[in-house]
Structure 1
Amino acid sequence: MSGHSKWNNIQGRKNAQDAKRGKIFQKLSREIYMAAKSGGPDPDSNPSLRLMLDKAKAANMPKDNIKRAIDKASGSEGADYEEITYEGYAPGGVAILVHTLTDNRNRTASEVRIAFTRNGGNLGETGSVNYMFDRKGYIVISREELDTDEDAMFEDVIDAGAEDLKTSEELFEIYTDPKDLPDVRASLEGKGYKLDTFELVMVPQNLVPVPEDKIEQFHHMIDALEENDDVSEVFHAGDLSDEE
């Protein structure tokens, strides 16, 4: 139940870069729009929308932005976004998934392909790497100033209904069945824990070390994808140290 943190490998760099570039509200708006469009504008009956609204609030997204995204989904105006997942390999043969929300399929496909090919990667067919990842609920709790040891945290996590707990010096990482994420989150918050993040992620079943001579190229590819306005999430199976 314990092990080296993959926070940086899976999601940490994405969150930091999105915030620095001021794009997080734009991406959240589209995700709220898609959730409301597919499941309705009422978060009480739409778990996906409820999760996105919680993420938006945690990111301090203005209420007007949230309302505008929901109103757009409820009416006939606005862009018609679709979700497309691209699969392939990064430098070093590392499996990678790229989730996008786009109103122009051709534009997005071209830009994603360029990010792959210019940085030593290659796109694959649909289904070529998706089976190497598992969809999971993911919660992170910082250990800083947290008066809880690993045994106590393990008990609370299992009582909350989670599947797995990974620990490092800085973090507790909690994995759940996707459908159980809201209940696990509510249980942990009810016990007084402050959650650093909570979201649905694609977790690689096995990690692949990135060859030393491919690390810089690997980062360039991930950066190129994350800088794309149409890209909402990037997941990879690369095994990198925190320093790398």
Structure 2
Amino acid sequence: MKFTIFAPILLAASTNSFVAPSTPATRTNNAALSPLFMGRAAAVRAATKGKTDAKKAKTNALYGKKIIMCVKQGGPDPDGNRALAELIKAAKANSVPVDNINRAIKKASEASVGDFAERTFEAYGMGGASMVINVLTDNDNRANADVRSAVGKNKGKMAEQGSVLFMYDRKGRITVPAEVDEEALLEAAIEADVEDFELSCEDVEDGKLSTILVEPADTNNTFEAVQSMGFTEDVKMELAYVTKAPVEVTDEEFEANMKIIDALEELDDVDSVEHNMSN
């Protein structure tokens, strides 16, 4: 059993100050400024909520497509389609509404619904960064053109198949919006027959975020082990490509590479983008 605990990195911090009014003039000035400050705060909250809502909508759409693909391949009954049963569990773990899941299962039987297929593209960014672009699409030509355009317009470079993937491992990834105790996780993992995992924890804007990496076959068992520890809210699980060779890039290179990733993640056909940047 191995553990990797990374040092926390504080992503954002802010301080607020309050000056008590001492004269009518001071109270008047503060009152005049309050709407401005309140407006800025509201704008920040609205922007954050907008990004969160967009990400949630894309997650729901992604699992809808995955369910349609799975049903077309193995049928609509989770009892007879094990892959569908596991996918439904993953969808629920990622907060996809049950109504969305049921609609996708029903939609898969409609003749007008196309077949979805998974594709993987590889690309290079700045400063030695590499990217693995996971796609789920019903139109290969569109997905190929859109991915290449997003990479090229943002000064990235498409890579030959296999030239990037060999630097990544396929892993199961469970994320928990809290700090997970390593000893407690060890006990739960043993109970769940999980032989090996890596645990990391970092500071994020809203608190702590723990990430657990396991072999793909152990993903479901690890997810259930985490739930048995009392973590049931917003715990997510997925399969991901995890770099074996992180690279350090400058702040400028990081920002440039994130522009590529942001452009890719805006595409409807793109499921996720993995990268090897260490900062």
TM-score normalised by structure 1 residue count: 0.81
Tell me, yes or no, if structure 1 residue 110 matches structure 2 residue 145.
yes
Partner of 1:207: 246
Tell me, yes or no, if structure 1 residue 20 matches structure 2 residue 22.
no
**Does the 8 Å CA contact 1:140/1:174 hold for their aligned counterparts?**
yes
**Partners in 2 of 1:25 and 1:133 — Cα distance?**
26
- What is the aligned counterpart of 2:209 among 163, 167, 171? 171
Q: Return 5+ residue gaps in structure 1 as ranges.
A: 7-15
Name which one, 1 or 2, has greater alpha-carbon Rg.
2
Instruction: Provide Cα deviations, 1:154-209, integer angstroms capped at 9, x if missing partner.
Output: 33334431522323252332222211212222233234333621111111111111
| Runs of 4+ displaced beyond 4 Å | none
- SS of residue in 1 equivalent to 2:260: helix
**Partners in 1 of 2:122 and 2:65 — Cα distance?**
21
- What is the aligned counterpart of 2:223 among 174, 185, 197? 185
Alignment CA distance shift 1:17-1:234 (3 Å) = farther
Tell me, yes or no, if structure 1 residue 217 matches structure 2 residue 250.
no
**Partners in 2 of 1:201 and 1:81 — Cα distance?**
19
**Does the 8 Å CA contact 1:86/1:99 hold for their aligned counterparts?**
yes
Q: Give the superposed CA RMSD.
A: 2.6
Matches within 5 A, 1:60-71: 60-71=95-106
Instruction: Provide Cα deviations, 1:111-169, integer angstroms capped at 9, x if missing partner.
Output: 1111111212111121111111111111123335xxx7433333333443152232325
**Does the 8 Å CA contact 2:66/2:116 hold for their aligned counterparts?**
no
Q: Return 5+ residue gaps in structure 2 as ranges.
A: 9-49, 203-207
More deviation in 42-51 or 93-102?
42-51
Tell me, yes or no, if structure 1 residue 194 matches structure 2 residue 232.
yes
Alignment CA distance shift 1:19-1:56 (3 Å) = farther
Post-superposition offset of 1:60: 4.0
- SS of residue in 1 equivalent to 2:112: coil
Tell me, yes or no, if structure 1 residue 154 matches structure 2 residue 156.
no
**Partners in 1 of 2:5 and 2:237 — Cα distance?**
20
Tell me, yes or no, if structure 1 residue 32 matches structure 2 residue 74.
no
- Percentage identity across aligned positions? 36
Aligned length: 229
**Does the 8 Å CA contact 1:87/1:97 hold for their aligned counterparts?**
yes
